[in-house]
Amino acid sequence: MDTHRKVIIIGSGPAGLTAAIYTARAQLDPLVIAGIQAGGQLMLTSEVGNYPGFPKDILGPDLMQLMREQAVRFGTMILDTDVTAVDFTKRPLKVIVNGGDVYTAETVIVATGATAKWLELPSEQRLRGKGVSSCATCDAFFFKGKDVAVVGGGDTAMEDAIFLTKFANHVTVLVRGRELRASKIMADRARANQKIALRFSATVTEVLGESSVNGVRIKDSIPGADREETLPVQGLFVAIGHTPNTEIFRGQLELEPKAGYLVVKDQTRTSVDGVFACGDVQDFRYRQAVTAAGSGCMAALDAEAYLHRLSGT
C-alpha cells in the first residue's frame, strides 16, 4: 500500500466516513485510519431515530456499517488501527500509527470525535458494565422494572432519564449543583414525568455493590454540609458531558483552552494549513450524527479545494 496519500482521514464515525465518501468520489484515494474502536459513538447506541432517510429507525452499529461500505465502494482504504502521534510541523504531514508505521499526506482530515466523561471513582470503574453505564440508549433495556439513578443536569441527563423511564420503575436524577443546565424543554419534560425525581446538590461519592450495583452513596454538595446517604438503585447512568479526543494533537494544532476541542476557522480549517477538522472533535454544541456527517462533507470539499490550489490547477 502507498504510504504517501493525498488525503488521510483520522477517525471513522459519521464525520470521518462522510469525508471518506466525498474524497473517494473526488478520486483522491483517501486512507481512513479508523481507530481500534472503529465507528465512533454510534457504535454504543441502539436505535437511531433522527438520522434522515431511516423512517423506521436503524441501529447505530448498522448505520456505521452502511457508511463504511459506502466509503469502501468508492475506493476508500480503511486501517482499523489507532494513530499514536502526528507531526504537522513540516510537509508532508506525518501520521504515525500503532506499531510505528508512518504515513504521509498532503492533507489530513481530523475526525476523532469525543468520549463520554466518567466520574472517575474507583467503584464506578470497577462496576462499569455491571450496572454502571454511560449509554442509556444501549443499556436501558437491562433495567426493566428496576430503580436507577442518572448523574448530570444537562440535556443528555434529561434525555437519558426520560428514555430510562420506558424500562425502569423509577429514575432519580442526581444534579451536583442547585440548578439544571438542560434546556427548558428537556427540563420540563423530565419534571413532568411521574417516574423521575430530581435531586439537587447531590454528589456521588461511591457506587455500591460487589458483582453488580445495589446503591450509590451521595453527599450533599453544599460546602460545609457533610450529610451522606445511600440511595438503593440497581443502575447508575453517568451523563456528565464529553471530552474531545484531541490528546495526540496537543502541541500540533490549536486547541480551545477550556475543554480542549480543536479550534477551527472558516468552518473546517485548523491552525495548520492542509489540516481540516470535522465532527464532535471540534463541535461541543450540536454533537449529532447528522451534523457530524455534514461537517465531514464540508471538510472533504475544503480539502479538495486546498489540493487544487496546491497543484495550481
Whether the CA torsion 293, 297, 303, 304 is positive or negative: it is positive
> Closer to ligand NDP at the Cβ: 79 or 135?
135
Q: Is 135 a catalytic residue?
A: yes
Q: Is 278 a catalytic residue?
A: no
Whether the CA torsion 225, 229, 233, 234 is positive or negative: it is positive
The one catalytic residue among 139, 155, 160, 302: 139
> Closer to ligand NDP at the Cβ: 159 or 302?
159
Question: CB neighbours of 38 closer than 8 A, spacing ≥ 6?
Answer: 12, 64, 68, 78, 80
The one catalytic residue among 82, 138, 147, 297: 138
Residue 208 CB, nearest distance to ligand NDP (Å)?
Answer: 17
> Closer to ligand NDP at the Cβ: 97 or 138?
138
The one catalytic residue among 135, 155, 278, 280: 135
Residue 42 CB, nearest distance to ligand NDP (Å)?
Answer: 14
**DSSP secondary structure code for residue 296 in this structure:** H
Distance, in Å, from the CA atom of 16 to the CA atom of 297, rounded to the nearest integer, reads 9
Residue 75 CB, nearest distance to ligand NDP (Å)?
Answer: 34
Distance, in Å, from the CA atom of 28 to the CA atom of 44, rounded to the nearest integer, reads 31
> Closer to ligand NDP at the Cβ: 9 or 236?
236
| C-beta of residue 81 within 8 angstroms of C-beta of residue 97 | yes
| C-beta of residue 162 within 8 angstroms of C-beta of residue 193 | yes
Residue least distant from ligand NDP (Cβ):
154
Residue 167 CB, nearest distance to ligand NDP (Å)?
Answer: 19
Residue 156 C-alpha cell reads as 443528555
Site of interaction with ligand NDP (CB under 6 A): 119, 151-157, 159, 176-177, 181, 183, 240-241, 285, 287
> Closer to ligand NDP at the Cβ: 61 or 241?
241
**DSSP secondary structure code for residue 249 in this structure:** G
Q: Which helix (H) or strand (E) holds 218?
A: strand 215-220
Distance, in Å, from the CA atom of 43 to the CA atom of 13, rounded to the nearest integer, reads 9
| C-beta of residue 187 within 8 angstroms of C-beta of residue 173 | no
* Separation in Å, CA 114 to CA 47, 121, 147, 182: 20, 20, 29, 20
> Closer to ligand NDP at the Cβ: 131 or 154?
154
| C-beta of residue 276 within 8 angstroms of C-beta of residue 109 | yes
**DSSP secondary structure code for residue 255 in this structure:** B
Distance, in Å, from the CA atom of 214 to the CA atom of 146, rounded to the nearest integer, reads 11
φ/ψ of 287, rounded to 5, equals 50, 40
Residue 150 CB, nearest distance to ligand NDP (Å)?
Answer: 10
> Closer to ligand NDP at the Cβ: 195 or 287?
287
Active site residues per annotation? 135, 138-139
